[in-house]
Structure 1
Amino acid sequence: MSAEHGEPGLRERKRLATRRAIQRAVLILSCERGIEKVTVEDISRAADVSPRTFFNYFSSKDAAMVGDELDLASADDIDAFVHGGPSGDILAQLAELLASSLKNTEGDREIHQLRRTVMKENPYLFGLRMATLRNFEARLQDIIGERLAADQPDLAADPVRLHQRALLLTLVAVAAVRHAWRCWAEGDAVRSLADEVTESFTELYEMTLRTS
């Protein structure tokens, strides 16, 4: 996805289509044969690309199975979130930021379902996938920390407390995203992942109000 996070151009769409074709191929073949019996040559043939093209996109078979790291939204979206307070609803604005960030995965429902199937049979892949999610969490925590510091100068003056609060909000947000992703992947409706993210945050907000 381009840095502007708008509609991708033709070149970017082709790049994304190739990445998805490679991931779909490796996952389908692994479901059919088992990971150990699938080669890069097999994947390349199934995805209709050359082995050289495969390695232009992924460093290894495992990397293709694990998939891409999640991307955060555009620089403009991030800046709007960081400077969206102090009177703005930080949870609602965080939901909006994350929904925007996940829009480029809208066409990946089948890939996500296949990946879950393969990971159940090969637990080591789950560890690799979680490593990519930790990178996403770290970037998100930095952004949330910037927002909290901008909203509350007294909090910015206490780095330990700022870090702890940013970490807590990050973990809550990531849990809501994981909930949305499972509902989206397991569902058969036309509902988008972005809509599921918004719904998960709404449910979280309502449950917090009921128990407060």
Structure 2
Amino acid sequence: MSVAEEELGLRERKRLATRRAIQLAAVELASQRGFDRVTIDEISHVANVSPRTFFNYFPSKESAIIGELPELPDEARIERFVNAGPEPILDGISELLIAAIDTGELAGDVDASSDTARTVQELHKLRRALLKDNPELFAQRMASMHQFEDALSTIVQRRLAEDDPSLLSDPEVLHQRARLVTYVSFAGMRHAWSCWADHGGMEPLADRLRSSFAELQALGAHVR
């Protein structure tokens, strides 16, 4: 590894550590005092960053508490998925979802320390409780997830139509089939997240996603 690559890796680890510190400060303060009673200045102070640095990472205290949501990968990766037939579609979707989430942030680096894993585990535990107790935060997170779900479903439609052009003659069938595939995929993603959190975030989330989708494929093979 070159010096430039080592410096880039160090900067990325520092970035992830700062982001985690801000999120952990936000959820801890909100858990202790209530979401409405926490300010960005207070979060910044506990995280040992300036308010300006806070806004470099998050646009609001809500976003720091809700956490990162998946984002679709770049168009080149999407095009590879759309044109990947006859590869099983769930295999391709699992890789899209891995690309869509910041696995370094969610699960820590592959060589993450036990302290990092404990920090991530505590962050997710507190976040789940806050979302449960604050319907407005839960609604914001779910709205964002629905947007991601719709975007993924549109990509799945493109893949299904590429695999079977006859589906283009019946847009409703294509739409409903894409929704079904998307819902199944989200079930696999939720299973992966739950298993990963239950084990303290000690394994890379990407590995857990692949395992959950492999289990999903195996289950489908036995359900006839």
TM value normalised by structure 1: 0.85
Shift of residue 10 of structure 1? 5.8
1:68-83 correspondence runs (5 A): 68-83=68-83
AA of the residue aligned to 1:34 = G
1:88 aligns with 2:87: yes
SS at match of 1:172: helix
Verify the 8 A CA contact 2:107 2:201 in the aligned structure 1: no
Q: Deviations over 1:133-155 (max 9, x none)?
A: 11211221121111111111111
Say which of 146, 151, 159 aligns to 2:158. 146
Q: Which residue of 1 aligns with 2:114?
A: none
1:36-185 correspondence runs (5 A): 36-85=36-85, 87-102=86-101, 103-104=103-104, 105-107=106-108, 108-185=120-197
- Quickly say closer, same or farther: Cα 1:16–1:75, change in 2 above 3 A: farther
Q: Which residue of 1 aligns with 2:111?
A: none
Shift of residue 46 of structure 1? 1.1
Shift of residue 14 of structure 1? 4.6
How many residues are aligned here? 204
Verify the 8 A CA contact 2:196 2:208 in the aligned structure 1: yes
CA-based RMSD of the aligned residues comes to 2.2
Q: Which residue of 2 aligns with 1:3?
A: none
Shift of residue 13 of structure 1? 5.0
**Aligned equivalents of 2:176, 2:183: Cα separation in 1:** 11
**Aligned equivalents of 2:121, 2:208: Cα separation in 1:** 13
Shift of residue 12 of structure 1? 5.3
Verify the 8 A CA contact 2:121 2:200 in the aligned structure 1: no
**Aligned equivalents of 2:200, 2:10: Cα separation in 1:** 29
AA of the residue aligned to 1:197 = L
Q: Which residue of 1 aligns with 2:24?
A: 24
**Aligned equivalents of 1:165, 1:9: Cα separation in 2:** 41
Q: Identity over the aligned pairs, expressed in percent?
A: 48
Verify the 8 A CA contact 1:81 1:93 in the aligned structure 2: yes
Shift of residue 109 of structure 1? 4.3
TM value normalised by structure 2: 0.80
1:190 aligns with 2:207: no
Q: Deviations over 1:82-111 (max 9, x none)?
A: 1101x2211222222223333343225443
